[in-house]
Amino acid sequence: MTIHSSFDERCYELLKLIPEGKVTTYGEMARALDSRAWRAVGSAMAKNKNLFVIPCHRVVRSDGTVGQYALGSDKKTELLQSEGVEISCGRVKDLGRYMHRFAG
């Protein structure tokens, strides 16, 4: 059994709020959690074992680069494209269009 930190659990709950066809960034998630720890957000994503319940594929880098994923960046790209997110050369095309910002 994997034990997650409270921060990780907060990240996972936040991720569940991102609708299909939208993405967010590590920094945006950190801000929504009242933190500047965007690297800790990345660490939480890397520890996610419930990939189909907790959609960590919807988190991208601040420049729109798709970034890493447990099943590989190609699979992350495929998942995002299947949700309608346009990807070109490994980046979300027009990040502002697909960006999900958290209320708060």
User: Active-site residues: which are they?
Assistant: 56
The gap between the terminal CA atoms of the chain, to the nearest Å, is 33
For 82, residues 6+ apart whose C-beta sits below 8 A from its C-beta are none
Per residue in 24-51, is it b (16+ CB within 10 Å) or e — as a string?
A: bbbebbbbbbeeeebebbbebbeebeeb
Structure tokens at 11: 């990240």
| C-alpha radius of gyration, the chain, whole number | 13
